[in-house]
Amino acid sequence: MRFKELGKIFDPTEHELDFSQSPQALVFDDFVRIYFSNRKKDLSGKYLSHISYVDMDKNFKTILHVSDKTVMRLGNLGCFDEHGIFPMNVLWDGDRVLAYTGGWSRRTSVSVDGSIGLAVSSDKGETFMRVGEGPVLTSSLSEPFLVTDPFVKKIGEEYHMLYIYGKRWIDGPNQKERVYKIGHAFSRDGITWSKTGLQLIKNKLGKNECQALPTMIKIGTTYHMVFCYREAIDFRTNKQNSYRLGYAHSEDMINWIRDDSKLILKRSEEGWDSQMMCYPHLFECDKNIFLLYNGNEFGRSGFGISILEGL
Amino acid sequence: MFKWEKLGRIFNPSEVKDRPWLKEYAQAPATLIFDDFVRVYFSCRPEPDENKQYTSYSAYVDLDRRNLTKVLNVSDKPILELGKSGTFDEFGTYPVSVIRKGIGVWAYYAGWTRCESVPYNVAIGVAASSDQGKTFKKMGDGPVISYSLDEPFTVSGPKIRKFNSTYYMYYISGYKWEKFEGRAENIFKIRMATSEDGINWSRENRNLIDDKLDINECQASPDVIQLGDKYHMFFCYKYASDFRNNKDRGYRIGYACSDDLINWVRDDSQVGIDVSKEGWDSESIAYPHVFSVDGNTYMLYLGNQVGRHGFGLARLVDLK
């Protein structure tokens, strides 16, 4: 996949926001709504992630509107999404919009756990209501924690989800660090999910490679997946270990061939995405395929976009 | 109505020596019957840590089958290890419920993790034994029944049963966390799920037992037994707040019956057991487990402070 960079299109600091992570598109007739997570500190000084959106024209040059409040409240006391929603993956379902959420809840021996929730919007994606207080996809026998980063597509009569699941927590120099991989689940109704139970993407950096935020698009008969990956340790500020984008393709969504060299979109030498590239999101708009993604510091300074030029 | 004769406390964890992980508590008894003895699984705790936080382990005692008040043996070590870093059962395996499966024994247990905004979260794990229930190996690092859309947290207290070749799991799930005088208290209700293989479960997704106290009634230990042509459930219930030191708000044992294992009619007036006037079970009684052996039906149950001082036995003397 050969992409042409169109550059950074949204800077949260220009809108009194901190972070704009994991941009995800909902395409309307004459604009594109891009959801993202921004962070606010709570009384304890820790971050809480909330979902906002920006409406952009279809050239991705003009900002039409930035939401002035979050699209859904965080979860209730003790719930899986009490301490943040990040990311939120949206798709049209008739007149409704479905949102699959990555919900975060803090732990004591490790920093967090995560599960996937479902919320629905009846007002074109301006506000969302939870379908239930609990998650639709969470830990299981072989996926013990950190089930998150949902990306859902309806293909034929079936819903398919790419997501990540925790594999292990390992000792880092200052704290426990997590290792996670990409999985697949499917559903007839979008609510009750069955896990395939496979690690879809082979490790490139060793067994503790962290693979995150899968996104997928079908072109012809082939599914194309873009994701981000990094080392498990010293990944926050060390450019050698930090997130970059990976690529895999498949004919059946279960068997994937990883070939990162086929993704022609590399980190810049300098500037907003020179240290890190992460949280990719593929979508189609007016017959073009676009890739949204974050740059340095996990999207602290915004997100950019690129357009597919060829396969 | 059931009529029970109390046979007294039969196990007191403080009398056990040389087992630092079994310092106090003997909670949530569950039986497995052998030719010569009845193995009673329970959950216990070492001393709390420097922050006064407990971990919990599960273990067993073997009771003489000819005299169930006689303890023959106490397990040398816990039947299950605590979970790895970040897993659902890192800080506790309590309670446990066992069933024979083929030549082995399977254990379903509640695993405890610690949270920041509330004290804990719980999900149900499964483990298998190939040494007649002395030790169990977990089937995975994660839970077999976890949180779900309708059961957002505290999926706990499993009781595994098999009727007509279907597995039935009675358990509890958290309904909400409510703050009382700044302290988060969990409110939980009795639920059920069924399975053909013991691994893939279908939830019923509704509360089985009507509230009696108020909407914040907490219900636990849904223990089901077939006697005659009916199914009987013994469980315990308490108020959500001020239950630790106020004996009028602590656990009591309740009762419901069913013809189909799914629809239950609560009628606590039938239960036939209550707190004693004095002694180890004078403030509260909790976590009933009812089983039949050699023509008699018995109830194991916890006394004051939810089993801190052990469990007792009662024998069914009449059922009308």
Both tokens of B237, joined, read 């219930």
| CB contacts, 8 Å: A141 with chain B | 126, 139-144, 199
Cβ distance B140 to A141 less than 8 Å, yes or no, reads yes
Do A109 and B91 lie within an 8 Å CB cutoff?
Answer: yes
Q: Give the pLDDT confidence of A57-103 residue by residue, as tens digits.
A: 999 999 999 998 999 999 999 999 999 999 999 999 999 999 999 99
pLDDT of residue B269: 97
Q: Which of A78, A106, A110 sits opposite B86 (nearest CB)?
A: A110
Nearest chain B alpha carbon to A82: B117
pLDDT reported for residue A270: 86
**Is residue B258 classed exposed, middle or buried when 0-12, 13-18 and 19+ CB atoms within 10 A define those classes?**
middle
Q: How far apart are CA B244 and CA A188, in angstroms?
A: 46
What does the mean pLDDT of chain B come to? 97
Q: What is the mean pLDDT of residues B276-301?
A: 97
The yes-or-no verdict on residue B68 having pLDDT over 80 is yes
Name the residue of chain B whose CA is nearest to A119's CA.
B149
Asked if the model's pLDDT at residue A267 lies above 80, the reply is no
Determine the 3-state secondary structure of B121 from DSSP: strand
Pairing status of strand B296-302 against strand B311-319: antiparallel
Residues of A with CB under 8 A from a CB of B: 75-80, 82-83, 105-110, 113, 115, 118, 131-136, 138-146, 166, 168-169, 176, 178, 191
Across the interface, whether the CB atoms of A107 and B149 are under 8 A apart is answered no
pLDDT digits (tens, 9 = 90+) for A160-194: 999 999 999 999 999 999 999 999 999 999 999 99
**Whether residue B289 has pLDDT greater than 80:** yes
Gap from B137 CA to chain A (nearest CA, Å): 13
> How far apart are the C-alpha atoms of B64 and A136, rounded to whole Å?
46
> Contact A139/B140, CB-based, under 8 Å?
no
Mean pLDDT of A92-118: 97
* Per-residue pLDDT tens over the stretch A212-225: 999 999 999 999 99
Q: Which of B114, B142, B177 sits opposite A109 (nearest CB)?
A: B114
Q: State which residue of chain B sits closest to A142, comparing Cα positions.
A: B140
pLDDT digits (tens, 9 = 90+) for A28-60: 999 999 999 999 999 889 999 999 999 999 999
Which pLDDT band holds residue A268 (cuts at 50, 70, 90)? confident
Q: Please report which confidence band the pLDDT of residue B65 belongs to, taking 50, 70 and 90 as the band edges.
A: very high
| Contact indicator for A32, A50 with CB cutoff of 8 Å | no
Q: Where are the domains of chain A?
A: 2-310
Give the closest residue to B70 by CA, choosing from B152, B156, B1, B10. B10
pLDDT of residue A120: 98
Average pLDDT over residues B14-34: 95
Q: How confident is the model at residue A247 (pLDDT cuts 50, 70, 90)?
A: very high
Q: In whole numbers, what is the pLDDT of chain A averaged over residues?
A: 96
Q: Which residue type does A100 have?
A: Y
Task: Give me the residue from A115, A118, A141 closest to B147, CB to CB.
Answer: A115
Q: Does the distance separating the beta carbons of B117 and A77 come in below 8 Å? A: yes
Minimal C-alpha gap between A144 and chain B (Å): 4
Q: Contact B153/A144, CB-based, under 8 Å?
A: no
Percent share of chain A, pLDDT over 90: 96
- Region B211-226: mean pLDDT is 97
Query: What are the tens digits of pLDDT across the range B165-190?
Result: 999 999 999 999 999 999 999 999 99
Interface of chain B toward chain A, CB-CB under 8 angstroms: 83-88, 90-91, 113-118, 121, 123, 126, 139-144, 146-154, 174, 176-177, 179, 184, 186, 199
- Tokens encoding B129: 């034994």
Please tell me the distance from the alpha carbon of residue A49 to that of residue A81, in angstroms, as a whole number.
10
Assess whether pLDDT exceeds 80 at residue A266: no
pLDDT of the residue at B320: 79
Q: Rounded to 10 degrees, what is the CA torsion of B263, B267, B273, B276?
A: 130
Q: Considering only CB atoms, which chain B residues are within 8 Å of A115?
A: 147
Answer whether residue B75 shows pLDDT above 80: yes
Residue-wise pLDDT tens digits, B78-124: 999 999 999 999 999 999 999 999 999 999 999 999 999 999 999 99
pTM here is 0.96
Give the nearest partner residue to B116 out of A107, A134, A178, using CB atoms.
Answer: A107
pLDDT per residue as tens digits for the range B251-267:
999 999 999 999 999 99
Categorize the per-residue pLDDT at B22 as very low, low, confident or very high, splitting at 50, 70 and 90: very high
Instruction: Inspect the interface and report whether the beta carbons of B179 and A77 lie closer than 8 Å.
Output: yes
* Mean pLDDT, residues B42-66 taken together: 96
Its ipTM equals 0.94
Query: What's the pLDDT score for residue A263?
Result: 96
CA–CA dist A87, A49 (Å, integer): 9
Distance from CA of A70 to the nearest CA of B (A): 22
Q: Do B85 and A110 make contact, defined as CB atoms within 8 angstroms?
A: yes
Report CB contact under 8 Å: A77, B84: no
Please name the residue of chain A whose CA is at the shortest distance from the CA of residue B202.
A192
Other C-beta atoms closer than 10 Å to the C-beta of A62 total: 11
Cα–Cα nearest to B160, from B130, B194, B111, B123: B194
Give percent above pLDDT 70 in chain B: 100
Question: Nearest CA to CA, how far is B98 from chain A (Å)?
Answer: 18
pLDDT surpasses 90 at A269:
no
Contact B284, B24 (CB under 8 A): no
Q: Do A142 and B140 touch (CB under 8 A)?
A: yes
Residue B66, CA atoms < 13 Å, CB-side half-sphere: 1
The reported pLDDT for the residue numbered B319 is 85
DSSP state of B77: S
Does position A301 have pLDDT exceeding 90, yes or no?
no
| CATH architecture of the domain covering A2-310 | 5 Propeller (2.115)
Asked if B176's CB is within 8 angstroms of A141's CB, the reply is no
Q: What angle do CA A138, A143, A149 make, to 5 degrees?
A: 55
pLDDT at B76 over 90: yes
By the 8 A CB rule, do A83 and A73 touch? no
Residues of B in contact with A143 (CB under 8 A): 142
Determine the Cα–Cα distance for residues B114 and B125; give it in Å rounded to an integer: 16
Say which residue the tokens 């396969």 belong to.
Answer: A311
Whole-angstrom distance, CA of residue A278 vs CA of residue A36: 13
Residue B138, pLDDT score:
98
Q: CB under 8 Å to A81, separation ≥6 — which residues?
A: A74, A75, A101, A103, A104, A105, A115, A117, A135
What is the C-alpha to C-alpha distance for residues B288 and B271, in angstroms, rounded to an integer?
11
Top residue of A48, A143, A145, A208 to mutate, by most chain B CBs within 10 Å, is: A145
Record: contact B87-A144, CB cut-off 8 A: yes
Positive or negative, the CA dihedral A261, A265, A269, A275 is negative
Q: Minimal Cα–Cα distance from B200 to chain A, Å? A: 10
